[in-house]
Amino acid sequence: MEDVKETLISYLKVHGRRILANLPEGQEVVKIEVRALFRYFKGRGKLMDRVEGFQWRGCKYEDGYVLVPVELIRELLRQ
């Protein structure tokens, strides 16, 4: 699961500002399609095989999407 976490962090550091800029007021969770993460995946095997059951700091995998709390995106961009 560590490689999925690192993939998500890499994706959010590149796209996080755009995601936040386009959010409706009050939205607390963002859905990111797993296929959007493919180019950032550096782990072994296939991302689709690794993402099943993924959970980390409020993020979770659900039906082809990773659900990410907006506050986590803000925190990652502050680092």
Question: For residue 11, is pLDDT > 90?
Answer: yes
The β-bridge relationship of strands 55-56 and 65-69 is: unpaired
C-alpha 53: how far from chain center: 14
CB within 8 Å of 22: residues ≥ 6 apart: none
pTM (2 decimals)? 0.93
Structure tokens at 74: 């803000």
DSSP β-bridge partners for residue 3: none
Residue pointed to by tokens 């991302």: 47
Tell me: the pLDDT tens digits for 21-48?
A: 999 999 999 999 999 999 999 988 999 9
Please name the residues in contact with 5: beta carbons below 8 A apart, sequence gap of 6 or more.
54, 56
Mean local confidence (pLDDT), 41-70: 95
pLDDT value at position 43? 85
